[in-house]
Amino acid sequence: MATALFFMYWKLEIAQPFIDWLSSVSNITFYRTVDSTDWIALLILPVSYRYFKQELALPAKGSLAINFVIILISAFSFVATSRARSMPSFEVNLSSGKEFIVPYGKERIIKEYSSFTQEESGDTYDYFPIENTAALVDVEIELKEYDKTNTIIILKRIINYQLDTDEITRSQQEDIARMMKFTAEDFEKNYEKHLIEEFGSVRTLPKK
């Protein structure tokens, strides 16, 4: 039961904070693919449990050759999983300064908005998709309290964008060519759409 529950949790998106914490405290980067279809592997647990109970009731015996084959099959099963993607990344490094007001308090945003990453230095980062593309854009932001129920999100810098794909198709090459011409304003409009999807409504402030 513990194996089944932990494996199901490990394969869900909600496990990401735990995996990030595990990576930070161990200095080993842990990866896994979010894929609930892997749960089908749990069907072996009742068979394994029944076999284990039978083995306990029998005298100790074993065959070195059979044990070796079982080890090989088990090892292959552990490593036969989806690899972590190395997504193509393209440098942008554009300054912005655009300010957005969202109807969430600052503490609530930090607690609930999982895409924010806050470094020990105090720098805060976010990412968002570009509509109708496979691109994810990494940005540096700053959070400021507007009042108890509203927060200002300052888009400080557009860092880069990555393609969520293993192979670049012709249509994605066209997306890359188009995004290479993006100005800061183009990224700002897409980030505003992203914030609207996340928070329901957004007000913008004129650049200083």
Residue 84 belongs to a domain: no
Alpha-carbon distance of 146 to 106, in angstroms, equals 8
Structural domain count, the chain: 2
64: domain range?
2-79
Q: What pLDDT does residue 89 have?
A: 77
**Residue 29 pLDDT level (bands cut at 50, 70, 90):** low
Alpha-carbon distance of 70 to 52, in angstroms, equals 14
Answer yes or no: do 104 and 158 share one domain: yes
Q: Structure tokens of 41?
A: 């592997």
Answer yes or no: do 139 and 179 share one domain: yes
Q: Which position has the token pair 């998709």? A: 129
Residue 169 in this model has a pLDDT that exceeds 80: no
Answer yes or no: do 136 and 156 share one domain: yes
Instruction: Establish how many alpha carbons lie within 13 A of residue 171's alpha carbon, considering only the half-sphere containing its beta carbon.
Output: 5
Answer yes or no: do 94 and 183 share one domain: yes
**Residue 98 pLDDT level (bands cut at 50, 70, 90):** very high
When mean pLDDT is compared across 24-33, 76-85, 138-147, 192-201, the lowest value belongs to 76-85
Contacts (Cβ under 8 Å, ≥6 apart) of 15: 9, 32
Answer yes or no: do 114 and 136 share one domain: yes
